[in-house]
Amino acid sequence: MFPQFTDDQTAVRDAARDFAQAEIAPGAAARDASGEFPEAIFHELGEMGFLGMTVPESYGGAGVDFLSYILALEQVAYADASVAVAMSVNNSVACGPIMAFGTEAQKQKYLKPLASGEVLGGFMLTEPDAGSDAAALKSRATRVEGGWRLNGSKAWITNGGVARYFVTMARTDPDKGKKGISAFILDAQQPGVVMGRPEEKMGLRSSKTVMVALEDAFVPEDAMLGKPGDGLKVAFGGLDGGRIGIAAQALGIAQRAMDESVAYAKARTSFGKPIGEHQMIQTYLAEMESRLQAARLLVYRAAALRGAGRACTLEAATAKLFTTESAVWICDRAVQIHGGYGYSREYAVERLYRDVRVTTIYEGTSEIQRMVVARELLK
Ligand code: CAA
């Protein structure tokens, strides 16, 4: 049977499932309503090693392989997609780039607390006028004694207001275009980093997303990540892993929608029999399950490649494109199967439908994934 998991991978997945079902799922609907960020859950995720899963234990992480991380993330998303996105961002685009590009001193200072869950991390690439076209970012990093001062605006920043360290891209040389962008590790605990109010979003309502103003925010000399001009390489390298994470998040949401739909199709009757006995409902269920199975294989394959240290830009993009588009469709069908009840907050599919929608947008829209796939094929 493919994929065949190792005993360690199975153990990680099962531990994640048990924790997610016992501790995360029960409060998901209430947090969706209140918008409360579940600090206590993140404290526990940190203790379990789930916030720096692929980071070696010597740097505070769990030291497991990338596929194990993806399996755990899927289980968390099944329970609550809001928790999953914060977990994904911390693992993939905060710890990931520091692991890949950080100096030993940076790993000791920033990676250890991020991977152990002592503090949370985030990623500041997007700006109000630079989303898909990341290279158009305008934030400036100006040299000052002992380091850099950052000025500009960052938009849609996940974990804003709850995270401490952000991998942040800013322009160090305005004349060098894409090569004039550098990456920094920004400490948000300073007056120069001004967090906006959390955005009022359609879904993922207990995950915090904010606009950030950088007003002479200081970054010490030794907190530049990589070399001057490496900013996009740092960002896009991290996003390859991040995109597999978002695909896993979508997979978890879609699996939940599937399970809710099957249960409802057995329980709800119409025209004198369970609706699951109507061929039109069966057609939906069969198509949903087929897309889910195909998506799962793409996600696990991309994760296995990433874990093996192989190039996976194309596979990460196809996994994200297919899985998130399929997950949006699956959740839409799940609402349809539930009929009027699917439109009610009383049923989980209403939240899943809202939560899943952003997965075709963030960490690279579906249009950007198509562009990445085509470029990889044609280069
Ligand atoms: N890995 C490593 N390096 C990479 C890379 C990858 N996958 N892809 C590109 N690079 C490198 C390139 O080699 C290049 O460096 P060199 O010139 O030294 O070779 C540099 O990065 C710039 O690459 P491009 O010239 O290809 O850049 P581009 O301007 O043409 O952009 C793009 C390409 C695919 C459109 C890119 O801008 C992109 O992915 N846009 C989408 C941005 C995005 O995903 N944003 C998500 C924000 S994070 C988020 O959403 C988090 C959250 O809250 C959940």
Q: Give 112-161 pLDDT, tens digit per residue.
A: 999 999 999 999 999 999 999 999 999 999 999 999 999 999 999 999 99
- pLDDT for res 267: 98
Distance 113 CA to ligand 1 centre (A): 27
Summarize the confidence of residues 69-88 as an average pLDDT: 98
pLDDT for 333 beyond 60: yes
Query: Is the CB of 123 inside a 6 Å radius of any atom of ligand 1?
Result: yes
Distance 285 CA to ligand 1 centre (A): 37
Query: Is the CB of 207 inside a 6 Å radius of any atom of ligand 1?
Result: no
> 12-70 pLDDT, tens per residue?
999 999 999 999 999 999 999 999 999 999 999 999 999 999 999 999 999 999 999 99
Summarize the confidence of residues 307-317 as an average pLDDT: 96
**Atom 50 (ligand 1): residue with closest C-alpha?**
363
Query: Is the CB of 305 inside a 6 Å radius of any atom of ligand 1?
Result: no
For the CA of 85, the closest atom of ligand 1 is 54
- pLDDT for res 130: 97
Pocket test for ligand 1, best of 90, 178, 227, 236 (most atoms within 8 A of CB): 236
> 262-290 pLDDT, tens per residue?
999 999 999 999 999 999 999 999 999 99
Q: Is 350 a catalytic residue?
A: no
| Catalytic site residue from 200, 287, 363, 367 | 363
Query: Is the CB of 100 inside a 6 Å radius of any atom of ligand 1?
Result: no
Query: Is the CB of 244 inside a 6 Å radius of any atom of ligand 1?
Result: no
Distance 142 CA to ligand 1 centre (A): 23
pLDDT for 247 beyond 80: yes
**Atom 29 (ligand 1): residue with closest C-alpha?**
135
- Give the pair of three-digit tokens for residue 251: 């997979």
Query: For the chain, what is the mean pLDDT?
Result: 97
Query: Is the CB of 248 inside a 6 Å radius of any atom of ligand 1?
Result: no
Summarize the confidence of residues 235-255 as an average pLDDT: 97
- pLDDT for res 3: 74
Query: Is the CB of 210 inside a 6 Å radius of any atom of ligand 1?
Result: no
Distance 119 CA to ligand 1 centre (A): 27
> 169-212 pLDDT, tens per residue?
999 999 999 999 999 999 999 999 999 999 999 999 999 999 99
- pLDDT for res 294: 98
Distance 70 CA to ligand 1 centre (A): 22
For the CA of 372, the closest atom of ligand 1 is 34
Does residue 50 contact residue 83 with C-beta atoms inside 8 Å? no
For the CA of 243, the closest atom of ligand 1 is 44
Summarize the confidence of residues 95-109 as an average pLDDT: 98
d(CA 147, CA 322): 43
- pLDDT for res 2: 64
Query: Is the CB of 360 inside a 6 Å radius of any atom of ligand 1?
Result: no
- pLDDT for res 167: 98
Summarize the confidence of residues 246-255 as an average pLDDT: 98
Distance 372 CA to ligand 1 centre (A): 9
Please report, rounded to a whole number, the percentage of residues in the chain having pLDDT higher than 90: 99
Length in residues, the chain:
379
Distance 368 CA to ligand 1 centre (A): 10
**Atom 19 (ligand 1): residue with closest C-alpha?**
233
Query: Is the CB of 89 inside a 6 Å radius of any atom of ligand 1?
Result: yes
Query: Is the CB of 239 inside a 6 Å radius of any atom of ligand 1?
Result: yes
